[in-house]
Every structure is written in structure tokens, then in C-alpha cells.
Structure 1
Amino acid sequence: MKIALPLSILFAAVLSACSSTPTQEPAPTAPAAAAPSVAAKPVTPAAPAAPAAAKKGPFDDEKFKLLFGKKDIFFDYNSFEVKLDYFDVVEAHSKWLKGNADSKVLLQGNADERGSSEYNLALGQKRAEAVKSMLSTLGVKESQIEAVSLGKEKPRNAGHDEAAWAENRRVDMVYK
């Protein structure tokens, strides 16, 4: 009996040591026979929403209508880089042009009154070309896009302050 007691304590210690050490075993995979029971559960169909979305054209979306309604891209002073604020506008126009292959757009680059006529004509052209490049990158055919510069000759706002100048630094999108 003297040997049995220390042996039982040793056995209990070994068992408790094994049970206190957590092991990370991979989760058992379900047997192949269990798969049919998962498939047998009824699934709530989501079909009513899908046909409505499929019938809706890209031009019916309210966001598209709002963005397509904007025909001007405004620029920072002395810049021809299209601002992130206008990427969605350009994308909406590209979708419309791709869906209407017989339509054409005239991009009229404009500048404010500061700077020489020659400089502003070049800047207006670079602005129009920047928008044209974006439209082309988005898949619009080159034959649908014409880029011209009006320089400072056609101001939208005849004022002589920053607010007026900001309105005049733009590309107008004119559809033919």
C-alpha cells in the first residue's frame, strides 16, 4: 500500500500536468457524410432584389445624374492637374460617352486673366488635354473627344478677385 499511494499521486500529477497545457489542434473537418445535411437547409432567396438591380441602367442612378449634370472641371492656380474632387464627374461622363458612341464632347480649357494670352492659351490646352486623357484612360474613344483652349478670352466671371479667378480656371464639357 505504501507503494500504491506514491504511485497514484505520481499518476495524478502526470494527468494534471497534461491537462493544464493547452494544445492547438486543428479543428476537425466534417466528414463527407455531413455535407448533405448542410445543403438540405432551406435558403431564403434574395432573387427579388437582383432583377430590379439588373433592370436598372447605369444612367438611372441618382448619383450618376448628379455627377453627369456637372459639366465643369475646376483647377488650382497655375495647374492643369485634375483634382480628386472631379474624378467621379469625369467617370460619369466617360460612362455616358461609352454608352453613346455617336456622341462627342468638346473640352474647352479656360484660364483666369492673370498671365499673358499665350501662356493662358497653353495652360487652357493642357487642362483640356488632362481631362481628355482621363476620359481616354476610362475607355472613351479618341474620336469622341476634342480638346481646345479658350485661354482667358471667355471668362465665366468678369471679376478681378480670387473668387472670380477660381471660376475661370476650368474645363467646360460641351456635348455636340
Structure 2
Amino acid sequence: MLPQSQSVIDTNARYLSGNPRIITQLEGHTDERGSREYNIALGERRANAVRQVMIARGVSPQQVRVISYGEERPAAGGQDEQSYALNRRVEIVY
């Protein structure tokens, strides 16, 4: 997890813990390297890592759903390290 991601996660965790009726979905994404099955599992592990941080910050487990898209929804279309890095992410969706 990138250090700059911590503030985004903390901000969302504060919002969710203060609004217990709101549910969010964490969408895990990967770059295109690796098999489809591997990337789906990796995206799920990424999203679950963010979920665990949110729960540790006081968010109810029932408020946070996890889904993995693996490599299916890239943020960047290139085949270089910069594009791969942009595609390795978790998106918080309300």
C-alpha cells in the first residue's frame, strides 16, 4: 500500500464510521501481467487489505464489500511500468 493511499483510506474510514448506513464497494484491480485467475485473486487480496485497514479504523465489516476485476478494467492502456503501476489499485465506490 502506498503511503499517500493511507490518507485516502483514513478519510473514507472516518466518513463510513460516522455514517453506518452507507455501504461502499472496494474494487481490486491489477496490471495485465499474470493469468486471469491469478489477477482476480490478487485484486481480491488488494481490496481485502484496504477493507481490513478500514475495519481497524472503526468501519463496520457489513459496510464494506469487496470485488475483484483483476486486469479487466485498466486505468491506463500502455504496456510500460508507469501504466502497470496505475492499473494496480483499489477503487472505493459509493
Structure 1, unpaired ranges of 5+: 1-81
Return the structure number with greater relative CO, CA threshold 8 A, min gap 6.
2
TM (norm. structure 2) is 0.95
Q: Distance in 1 between the 2:16 and 2:38 partners?
A: 31
Partners of 2:74 and 2:8 lie apart in 1 by 22
Once residues 30 and 15 of structure 2 are traced to their aligned partners in structure 1, the CA distance between those partners, rounded to angstroms, is: 27
Residue of structure 2 in register with 1:86 after alignment: 5
What amino acid is aligned across from residue 104 of structure 1 in structure 2?
A: I
5 Å matches for 1:149-160?
149-160=68-79
The secondary structure found in structure 1 opposite 2:90 is: strand
State the partner residue of 2:92. 173
Letter in 1 for 2:73: K
Unaligned runs of 5+ in 2: none
SS of the residue 2:51 aligns to: helix
Match of 2:26 among 103, 107, 130: 107
Give the structure-1-normalised TM-score: 0.52
d(CA) in 1 for partners of 2:35, 2:66: 20
Paired-residue identity, %: 40
Residue from 128, 134, 156 that aligns with 2:53? 134
Cα distance in 2 between the residues matched to 1:96 and 1:152: 29
Q: How big is the shift at 1:83?
A: 2.6
SS in 2 for 1:115: coil
Q: Provide, for residues 23-45 of structure 1, a one-character-per-residue CA deviation record: whole Å limited to 9, x for no partner.
A: xxxxxxxxxxxxxxxxxxxxxxx
Q: Give, as a single letter, the amino acid of the residue that structure 2 aligns with 1:139.
A: G
1:3-22 matches, cutoff 5 A: none
Q: Give the letter for the 2:31 counterpart.
A: D
Q: 3-state DSSP class of the match of 1:173? A: strand
Matched, 1:144 2:71: no
Instruction: Give the Cα–Cα distance (whole angstroms) in 2 for the partners of residues 106 and 91 of structure 1.
Output: 15
Q: How far apart in 1 are the matches of 2:66 and 2:3?
A: 20
Which one has the largest radius of gyration? Answer: 1
Query: Structure 1 segments of 4 or more deviating over 3 A?
Result: none
Structure with higher strand content: 2
- Aligned equivalents of 1:127 and 1:106: distance in 2? 13
